[in-house]
Structure 1
Amino acid sequence: MQAKWDTQSRLLLIVYGLFACANACSGTFVNVFLWKLKPDYALIGWFALVQQLSLGAIFMFGGKWVKEYNKMNCLRLGIILAGVFYAVVLLLGKQAVHWIWLLGLLLGAAMGAFWLAFNVVYFEVTDADNRDRFNGWVGLIGSASTMVAPWLAGLLIASFGETGYTFMFTASLVIFTCGVVLSFWLKKRPPGQAYVWSIPLKLWQNRSSPWHTTCRALAAQGLRDGAYSFLISLLVFVATTNELKLGTYTLISSIAALLSYYAVGRWLKWNYRANGMIVGAVAMALAIIPLFVRVDYHSLLAFGIGMALTSPLFIIPMTSVTFDLMGQSEQAVNNRVELTVLREFGLLAGRMVSIVAFIIIMSWSTSIQTIVVFLAVIGCMPVISALMMRKLVRQQK
């Protein structure tokens, strides 16, 4: 199945950019908003866990819809649900903290529907020759979105106080609406064969399948991503109690990520993938060192810049290699939706373990030192992923 870099690829990137921008505008501050209503690490952990459960349910049951019917409607549903989430937050206001389960379910369903469809369409509009380039652009656009939007949102909150949150969530709602409208210019993708529910489980259990190793590597990656996805920005706010500083933190780290994604996406070639993953994973783990000295705005900023500069070396090859497995044979291409679901469940397993571990640890100790040690441990997990995938990358080469 040969794909090319065409108008549909670019349009898909624009829709992704709008989705990323709207999420960056408000998503950075949702946990801060809830924290200000009730400063409880475990509560934020439960909010994240419910999101992952909802996301997993959408992937499990949405795979059949995406493969046999209209995957573009699933993409639009994700954007619409994200807009509904922020509309509900606006309606609930300060009562939102009492509706954590509903909000988590909504946001998780939105992320699940969007990413399920996006990952399948992404595979269909790219091939092995341009996949690194496309991943580089995804990272570039994501970094650009998270570079400006959170800083403007932080400035808005700093200027208008609590009313700034209302303006910010409303802006996200408008951007999501634009994304839905633009998505109608994406061509309807032809449906595939019948969805086979047993394929993900069989491939995971088959030790001779490359997916057995890949799923374990993805789970190790998910162990880091689970708590990192919400805890870092929350730590910045706890250390500064200033939304503008959080926005500035995101701006600076995103500039670093943008430059790194551009460089890695442009120059990282096949023969450097394996070593690049190892170097990136180790460097990501070492980025935590400043937090062992002290936990303040400047050390967190050093940590954020370090992660931003080094993570593309790991993420781009990891993503490309995983999706290349879907194109190894005609059968794999036909089962791309099932393989997309399998990929997500590998990540999901790691993320859920990470978040549950965080909730348990926070019931024992909420000290900053405990949190830093926890971040250091799960921050080393991508090294395990890279080591697992290294042999597979060389075999593909």
Structure 2
Amino acid sequence: MPKGQSRQRFGQGKAKDNPAGTYFENRESGAANGQAAVHKGRLDAQAILLLIVHTLFGGANALSGTFVGVYLWKAKNDYALIGWFTLTTHLTMAITFWLAGKWVKEHNKMNCLRAGVFVSAIFYMLVLWMGTSSIHYFVWLGMVQGISAAFFWVAFNVVYFEVTDPDNRDRFNGWVGLLGSGAGILAPWISGLLIVNLGDGTGYRLIFSISLGIFLLGVIISFFLKKRKVEGIYEWLFPLRILRQSETPWKRVSLALVFQGVREGVFGFMIALLVYISTSSEASLGNFVLMTSAVSLVSFWAAGRFIKPRFRKISMFIGALMAVVVILPFFWKMGYATLLIFGLGASLFFPMYSVPMVSAVFDLIGSNEESAKQREEYIVLRELSLNVGRMLGVVLFICVISWSKAPLVINVLLLVIGSSTLFSWYFMKKQLSVIKP
């Protein structure tokens, strides 16, 4: 991003932490220097570095995170226990997001990002150390995972907002999905082969150790990201204040995010677990992720390249609808073949839903200078909404699965939870029609 000349101190933040100007100052200075016309829609060096850190973080999680649920399942075949682990993760994540908002607002947000990567490394160190006894400490492990995710994502999303603008935000999101899918192609496939060939004990220890090393590499590379200016004082009750306003698009957007989270909370762990249960093979799960990630890679590339702001509304609707349609084969037969149909279909269409959703929300944050100055609070509001939805989805899952584990009940549950994408689109559609110049 173009460097500003201001050395003014804002609130408790020091300008020397980052010589760059504010979000709007940077956009205006770029336009004044003729850079907007030449580089419109391009990603600068800081955006590319942020993509690399994100890819390492996602790759390390893809290598081992896909198998954490399986690891716990093999220790104890209990859907509800894995649900409680996931619920603990999302609850801790929500609380940590709210608390960490002050860190990224008033202090060094890059240290918060590094802390997220480092605590993720600690999570896998704990799993390695505890071994099969991890099942007895799932609450504590869920809390550590929630803290790591919150630290990383609250800082990542603030920096992402600062290094992108409406001209290149869809492109950045497309690259995030493309590189994440690229990591997802190889990492789980390699993990599955290692676990099968080396055995449970050695295989899981090896992949958790490799993830640990990748996280540490991510911390090192993050030091090449510039320190960024901190400005203003964190408003603790900002989400409540905004949602109490009579006329604000954030009421609709927050509901859309809640429904988005409902699906994420359950499908994030359930699909991988169902694939393993259907095949009893980590290698099959690795192959499943390889194939679905390959499709997702192409789909995210296309979404980032071709979905322009004027196409967001129809794109998100098609993605939301097809994310529900691909669940229907489960009612014919729950097996590897139908799970693969679901996985390939979701990978093909879900980027059409997620790319417009993410871009439109961040465009709303940057819609004027006042809201851009409170980007940290808005990002906390966004993440709180998502985690409320995730927790609601997981609570529904735990209640239903504790009542019945019949295949039909599970299929109906997945259909109900999966249909939340349509509600998300409904509450988001008005905002998707807002086109910024």
Q: TM-score, normalised by structure 2?
A: 0.90
2:237 corresponds to which residue?
A: 198
2:357 aligned with 1:318, yes or no? yes
From 142, 146, 156, the equivalent of 1:108 is 146
Is the Cα–Cα contact under 8 Å of residues 310 and 435 in structure 2 kept in the other structure?
no
From 147, 155, 161, the equivalent of 1:123 is 161
2:252 aligned with 1:213, yes or no? yes
Higher helix share: 1
2:323 corresponds to which residue?
A: 284
C-alpha deviation, 1:198, in angstroms: 2.3
Amino acid at match of 1:281: A
1:97 corresponds to which residue?
A: 135
Once the two structures are superposed, the pairs formed by residues 145-184 of structure 1 within 5 Å of their partners are 145-162=183-200, 163-184=202-223
Helix, strand or coil for the counterpart of 1:191? Answer: coil
From 280, 293, 296, the equivalent of 1:241 is 280
Is the Cα–Cα contact under 8 Å of residues 266 and 394 in structure 2 kept in the other structure?
yes
Helix, strand or coil for the counterpart of 1:307? Answer: helix
2:417 aligned with 1:378, yes or no? yes
2:398 corresponds to which residue?
A: 359
C-alpha deviation, 1:366, in angstroms: 1.4
C-alpha deviation, 1:115, in angstroms: 0.3
C-alpha deviation, 1:217, in angstroms: 0.7
> Over alpha carbons, which structure has the higher Rg?
2
Amino acid at match of 1:239: S
Stretch of structure 1 that moved more, 271-280 or 196-205: 196-205
Partner Cα separation in structure 2 for residue 257 and residue 108 of structure 1: 26
Amino acid at match of 2:238: I
Amino acid at match of 1:294: K
2:21 corresponds to which residue?
A: none
Amino acid at match of 2:270: L
Aligned residue pairs total: 397
Partner Cα separation in structure 2 for residue 271 and residue 396 of structure 1: 7
Helix, strand or coil for the counterpart of 1:395? Answer: coil
Percent identity between the aligned chains?
A: 47
Deviation sequence 1:154-175 (CA, Å, 0-9, x none): 0000101111000010000000
C-alpha deviation, 1:42, in angstroms: 0.2
Amino acid at match of 1:272: F
Deviation sequence 1:277-313 (CA, Å, 0-9, x none): 1111001110101111101111100000000000001
2:77 aligned with 1:59, yes or no? no
C-alpha deviation, 1:249, in angstroms: 0.3
Deviation sequence 1:187-220 (CA, Å, 0-9, x none): 0111111111122111122241011110011111
Helix, strand or coil for the counterpart of 2:433? Answer: helix
Helix, strand or coil for the counterpart of 1:61? Answer: helix
Amino acid at match of 2:120: A
Amino acid at match of 1:234: L
C-alpha deviation, 1:251, in angstroms: 0.3
Deviation sequence 1:245-268 (CA, Å, 0-9, x none): 000000000011101000111011
2:74 corresponds to which residue?
A: 36
1:88 corresponds to which residue?
A: 126
Amino acid at match of 1:316: V
2:110 aligned with 1:72, yes or no? yes
Partner Cα separation in structure 2 for residue 247 and residue 367 of structure 1: 26
Stretch of structure 1 that moved more, 368-377 or 214-223: 368-377
From 298, 301, 317, the equivalent of 1:259 is 298
C-alpha deviation, 1:241, in angstroms: 0.5
Stretch of structure 1 that moved more, 122-131 or 367-376: 367-376
